[in-house]
A and B are shown apart, each in its own frame.
Chain A
């Protein structure tokens, strides 16, 4: 099979998926440095004119009923990793323009001491092109996360930002279950949404599937899908 046929197969598979399932718009942020705040503001202002905010209950209802209940199409604003500037820079802009932020947190990044955060980022595929904090704290604190938790969505991006399908069982459990335990301990409740580096989607890696279900996550985000894996009533 040559490269072109693989492309055509992949494109056809995704095309069929798009034609037969619901789609939702997502905008993915990572580091959101202040030096780019004006650009973010312009983008969010544009999005707020055309799209509406989505929280977990909105998503849940949409996945159950297939009907979007707001006048403007839904847009999920995702912030990956747990950067401090997600709170300092993007969160105020999100609130000004009426969006809920979905903060997918690497709990190991948040748990790292300030002195270790840069090294943690560099060794765990956490991009740090722009560094705007002379004090060296680049990750959110749990106090900031508790504040975000009041109006936004806190979600799990596992503990260490590693590719789960490559891990030994005990390490995999710490990544999936351990992260949920971190949220329970510091937020006082489990989180509902889970995403990991490069997937996997639910159904792709059985060991991860079992742990994600055991941890009590409701939604799995991956490269091309949002999957509702567990009904809230079973919580």
Chain B
């Protein structure tokens, strides 16, 4: 039987492998990053409060039983068949939501480096999970991320 620790180890290994691949592909995707979007609710939150909320979120997510819960995530869509890149967001009619999510992710990553300077690459997947968790809970409105 796979216990919670086993599931966590597998998730961690999967994330590590995936992140290694992402880094390896970085040059392929090295297009100019979108400028940060206009301020949203989360950007007005004090750094310490934001960091503390993120730390609490990740601690809470550690208690999940991954094999028996619905785990929200975001996936990047890539069209290799036609060699064209879709730029609009599937997440909402407004493409600005995509920018908002990308901007929020950068803020999460910056915060996590402050909280845990020795963070392993596999923690990136945890940040995506935390961001998705908040986004899904808020109905994808792009606020309070």
Q: List the interface of chain A (C-beta within 8 A of B).
A: 2-4, 6-33, 36, 40, 43, 46-47, 49-51, 59, 62-68, 71, 73-74, 76-77, 122, 125-130, 197-204, 218, 221-231
Contact = CB atoms under 8 A, between A and B. Distances in A.
Nearest to B129: A28
A159 to B, nearest CB: 18
Nearest to A44: B70
A33 B33 CA distance: 42
Given A22-B86, A26-B74, A199-B14, 14 more contacts: A7-B121, A11-B112, A14-B19, A19-B99, A21-B78, A23-B77, A199-B18, A200-B21, A201-B18, A218-B81, A224-B76, A225-B75, A225-B76, A226-B76
Contact of B109 (A3, A8, A30, A128): A8
A11 B7 contact: no
A4 B124 contact: no
Given A8-B113, A33-B68, A229 B76 contact: no
B109 A225 contact: no
Contact of B17 (A7, A202, A223): A223
10 contacts: A9-B121, A10-B22, A12-B26, A13-B26, A14-B128, A24-B77, A29-B71, A68-B88, A77-B70, A223-B18
Closest 5 CB pairs of A and B: A127-B67, A66-B86, A223-B18, A50-B139, A11-B109
A59 B120 CA distance: 33
Contact of A18 (B66, B81, B101, B120): B101
User: Which of B17, B75, B79, B139 counts the most A-chain CB atoms under 10 A from its CB?
Assistant: B75
B17 A20 contact: no
Interface string B93-133: 10001110110011001001100011111011101100010
A126 B81 contact: no
A46 B74 CA distance: 17
A199 B121 CA distance: 17
B73 to A, nearest CB: 5
Contacts of A65: 86
B85 interface: yes
Contacts of B19: 10, 13-14
A36 B68 contact: yes
B75 A24 contact: yes
Given A29-B70, A231-B81, A67 B124 contact: no
Nearest to B17: A198
Contacts of B118: 2-4
A28 B73 contact: yes
Given A17-B76, A127-B67, A223-B15, A230 B22 contact: no
Contacts of A49: 139
A73 to B, nearest CB: 5
